[in-house]
Amino acid sequence: MTQQAQQTQTQTQRQEQERDRAQWAGPGEQQGSLAPPHPPGAARRWPRSFADRLTAPLPGLRAFARFAREGALRPPPEALADIGRLPFEPGPLPEVDAHTIAVTWAGHASWVVRVGGLTVLTDPVWSRKILGTPARVTPVGVAWSALPPVDAVVISHNHYDHLDAPTLRRLPRDTPVFVPAGLGRWFTRRRFTRVTELDWWEGAELGGVRFDFVPAHHWSKRSLADTCRTLWGGWVMTDAQGQRVYFAGDTGYGHWFERIGDRYPGIDLALLPIGAYDPRWWLSDVHCDPEEAVRAAGDLGARRMAPMHWGTFLLSAEPVLEPLTRVRVAWERTGRPREDLWDLPVGASRVLDRAPGAS
């Protein structure tokens, strides 16, 4: 390669990096500080599409045909025998004060998060069956009747395994809901009255807890005509003492984890997806595998990691227990303390201790 060709290649790479950085910056990102919080429930105007936030093209018709032809939609029959071994240990919700964080895994991406004195539900799906997939293979880990009053809900994106209308109908319509840009109309049509839409790197506050919407690499769709019409992402919840929980939603692995960790240092607990990853040629851009999830926890600088998005709905072809086995091996290879991997059974809870030096 000639020197001129090398210079041209280097310049092209720099331009691509700058374009990528601008794409992932978002209007809410400010150098060196968090964006001021948006007023909850403020009316917003959004573009008709968020497809420009994708860093890889969505699969085309050929990919769908290959996916169906190879029978890669579900685990092989011999792997289904392990369904009865999926960990399920429901217990009472812990009693905590306003200065203590606790999490309970209800299954899939649904958590009961106690933070800053609030009870927050993430991507609540209490239904037995959702559109497009077989019924759940483990029961919901928390009975709806056992929940304390729900103070807020956060939604990562609009796929049916994360946005469940029958579950949300159980909530009072004045429940504060924090959603990605463009998804507010879905809630207001269902008469929710306290809906806050945010773009990446934007935040809002409720009861002394800050809710920040952060990037992910995924996509959105609920019908034939609404691909990428609403945004997708994760949430960082920060209490008045500065304790932080990061909920990733659905995402592939990439540089955004490091950027989130830089923007929100001192994440105490990262709730990260480890399932629905096989085959990789189909799903690597939108779903982390277990090893990538462990790497993401390191990129985030998170003190602890709790796996999710596995062992509830059969969304892809990996054996049902494989995500748990692989995440444990990957964590051990990092040399980090075993107790910092919160590989909870569905229904189990854990209370976060204070970080060293925390007030």
Tens digit of pLDDT for each residue in 157-167? 999 999 999 99
140 in a domain, yes or no?
Answer: yes
pLDDT of residue 308: 98
Mean pLDDT, rounded, for 310-330: 95
pLDDT at 179 > cutoff 80 = yes
Q: How confident is the model at residue 285 (pLDDT cuts 50, 70, 90)?
A: confident
34 in a domain, yes or no?
Answer: no
357 in a domain, yes or no?
Answer: no
Which pTM value belongs to this model? 0.90
Number of structural domains found in the chain: 1
Residues forming beta bridges with residue 237, ordered by sequence position: 211, 245
Mean pLDDT, rounded, for 6-25: 52
Cα torsion 168, 171, 173, 175: sign: negative
- Write out the two tokens for 22: 């601008």
- Write out the two tokens for 24: 């992932």
118 in a domain, yes or no?
Answer: yes
**CATH number of the structural domain spanning residue 233:** 3.60.15.10
Burial of 359 (0-12, 13-18, 19+ CB in 10 A): exposed
pLDDT tens for 113-132 read 999 999 999 999 999 999 98
pLDDT at 302 > cutoff 80 = yes
74 in a domain, yes or no?
Answer: yes
List CB contacts of 267: < 8 A, sequence separation 6 or more.
236, 244, 245, 246, 261, 300, 301, 302, 303
92 in a domain, yes or no?
Answer: yes
Give the domain extent around 173: 61-351
Greater confidence (287 vs 176) lies with: 176
Proportion of the chain above pLDDT 90, given as a percent? 71
Q: Note whether 279 and 72 are within 8 A (CB).
A: yes
Q: How confident is the model at residue 31 (pLDDT cuts 50, 70, 90)?
A: very low
pLDDT of residue 32: 47
pLDDT tens for 191-223 read 999 999 999 999 999 999 999 999 999 888 998
217 in a domain, yes or no?
Answer: yes
Q: How confident is the model at residue 41 (pLDDT cuts 50, 70, 90)?
A: confident
pLDDT of residue 13: 46
pLDDT of residue 280: 84
Q: How confident is the model at residue 284 (pLDDT cuts 50, 70, 90)?
A: confident
Alpha-carbon separation of residue 11 from 8, 18, 21, 52 (angstroms): 5, 11, 15, 22
Burial of 75 (0-12, 13-18, 19+ CB in 10 A): buried
Mean pLDDT, rounded, for 333-348: 98
pLDDT of residue 80: 84
42 in a domain, yes or no?
Answer: no
pLDDT of residue 79: 78
pLDDT at 278 > cutoff 60 = yes
